[in-house]
């Protein structure tokens, strides 16, 4: 039995029905479910499979493949730290280490306040502003410890809609 709110269930079913090929909607559906559940939970995998007439295994194959689909619980803000070679050149990985230390987490963990998850990410395409990171769809560049502190403070204080890539 679906645990989705009926309106969301209907909306997603309509989205699938409107597609030429239902399966082309799988990433979009995963994004919506991820937003609803906070991450792509086991329940979300089952829901996606039922909506798209796929097996849960087929959904799992995709959910575990893509780095912007989170198969484990994440914080409210997912910090994608660029580990491309240009960012590395400027900071030798320390943006990542600094964030982990500051937030008391390892890669993929959730900070104690439930706010942040830090993930290493493939070159974000922001090399002209290296070192860079991406948080819920927004780029931050030319990073240094002071700037990172200010960004984290701002995110803690100010309301921000949970984007998770959409």
Partner 1 sequence: MGEQVLLLNRQPDRPLSLEEYRQSGGYEALMAAVGKRTPEELRQLVLASGLRGRGGAGFPAGKKWSFIGKGHPRYLIPNTDEMEPGTFKDRVLVNVNPHLVLEGIILSAYAISAAKGIFFIRPSYEMDAELIERELGVAREAGFLGENILGSDFSFDLVVHRSAGRYICGEASAQVNAIMGRRPHPNKEVHMTDAGLWGKPTIVNNVETLACVPAILRKGPDWFKGLARSKDGAGTKLFCVSGRVNRPGCYEMPMGTPFNEILDEAGGMSPGSELKAFLPGGASTSFMPPKFSQVQMDFEPLKETGNRLGTGAIMVFDQNTCLVGATLNLLDYFTRESCGFCTPCREGLPFIRDLLLRLEHGEGKEEFIPMLKQMAHHMFKAYCAFAPGAASPVLGLLHHFEAEIREHISQRQCPFKGK
Q: Residues interacting with partner 1, by CB under 8 A? A: 20-21, 23-28, 30-31, 52, 54, 61-62, 65-69, 80, 83-86, 88-89, 92, 121-130, 134, 137-139, 163, 165-166
Q: Minimal distance in Å, beta carbon 123 to partner 1?
A: 4
Q: Minimal distance in Å, beta carbon 52 to partner 1?
A: 7
Give the contacts of 125 (CB within 8 A, at least 6 positions apart). none
Q: Which is nearer to partner 1, 3 or 64 (CB)?
A: 64
Q: Minimal distance in Å, beta carbon 88 to partner 1?
A: 5
Q: Minimal distance in Å, beta carbon 55 to partner 1?
A: 12
- Residues 9 and 57: their CA atoms lie apart, in Å, by 21
Based on DSSP, count helices (H) and strands (E) in the chain, helices before strands.
7, 4
Q: Which is nearer to partner 1, 104 or 161 (CB)?
A: 161
Q: Which is nearer to partner 1, 154 or 166 (CB)?
A: 166
- Residues 85 and 131: their CA atoms lie apart, in Å, by 10
Q: Which is nearer to partner 1, 93 or 104 (CB)?
A: 93
| Cα distances (angstroms) measured from residue 14 to each of 4, 109, 132, 136 | 14, 35, 38, 26
Closest listed residue to residue 31, CA positions, set 57, 78, 62, 69: 69
Q: Minimal distance in Å, beta carbon 96 to partner 1?
A: 12
- Residues 142 and 133: their CA atoms lie apart, in Å, by 9
Q: Which is nearer to partner 1, 98 or 126 (CB)?
A: 126
- Residues 53 and 16: their CA atoms lie apart, in Å, by 10
- Residues 126 and 4: their CA atoms lie apart, in Å, by 37
């Amino acid at each position: 039995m679906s645990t989705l709110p009926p309106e969301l269930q209907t909306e997603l079913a309509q989205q699938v029905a409107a597609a030429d090929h239902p399966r082309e909607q799988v990433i979009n559906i995963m994004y919506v479910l991820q937003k609803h559940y906070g991450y792509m939970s086991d329940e979300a995998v089952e829901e996606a499979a039922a909506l798209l007439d796929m097996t849960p295994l087929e959904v799992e194959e995709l959910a575990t493949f893509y780095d912007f689909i989170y198969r484990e619980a994440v914080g409210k803000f997912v910090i994608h730290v660029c580990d491309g070679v240009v960012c590395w050149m400027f900071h030798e990985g320390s943006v990542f280490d600094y964030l982990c230390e500051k937030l008391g987490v390892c890669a993929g963990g959730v900070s104690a306040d439930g706010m942040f998850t830090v993930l290493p990410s493939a070159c974000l395409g922001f090399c002209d502003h290296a070192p860079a990171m991406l948080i819920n769809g927004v780029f931050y560049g030319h990073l240094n410890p002071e700037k990172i502190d200010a960004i984290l403070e701002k995110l803690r204080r100010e309301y921000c809609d949970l984007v998770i890539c959409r």
